Amino acid sequence: MLLILSNVMIAVALFFMAFGIIGIFRFDDFYSRILISSKVETVGFITMLLGMMLRTGWDYSTLKILLIGLMAIITNPLSTHAVARSAYISGYKTGREKKDRG
């Protein structure tokens, strides 16, 4: 039963990651791309780690995977924010804003 549940969770995580890949290829603005990567990647990461925790059972490995998940929840939005802030401060404009200005 736990094996089937973990297989379902792994499949859902792979679907989320596939949506993230489609997102970074379809959007043509940088800010849209970084938004879709931040959201979808974090959800796929957490779902995959849940599937792995269900598969290992109750062990030391479960706590280590939980620690990696907490680390990812904290650091993934921070690094995305750092990249977006760097692009904004450096004066990156999307195509629409350039068209409005002149």
Partner 1 sequence: MTTLNSTLLVISVYIFLVLIRVIMGPTIWDRLLGLNMITAKIIISIIVLAVLTERSYLLDIALVYSVLGFIGTVLIARFVERKGKI
Query: Quick check: 50 binds partner 1 (CB under 8 A)?
Result: no
Query: Quick check: 12 binds partner 1 (CB under 8 A)?
Result: no
Q: Please tell me the chain's helix, strand, coil percentages from 3-state DSSP, rounded to the nearest 5.
A: 85, 0, 15
By C-beta, is 18 or 100 nearer to partner 1? 18
Provide the strand spans (E) within 14-65. none
Q: Cβ(65)–Cβ(52) under 8 Å?
A: yes
Q: What angle do CA 94, 24, 46 make, to 5 degrees?
A: 125
**How far is residue 76 CA from its own chain's centroid?**
7
From 26, 82, 96, 97, residue interacting with partner 1 (rule: CB under 8 A): 82
Contacts with partner 1 by CB under 8 A lie at 7, 10, 14, 17-18, 20-21, 24-25, 30, 33-34, 37, 41, 45, 48-49, 52, 55-56, 59-61, 64-65, 67-68, 71-72, 75-76, 78-80, 82-87, 89-90, 92
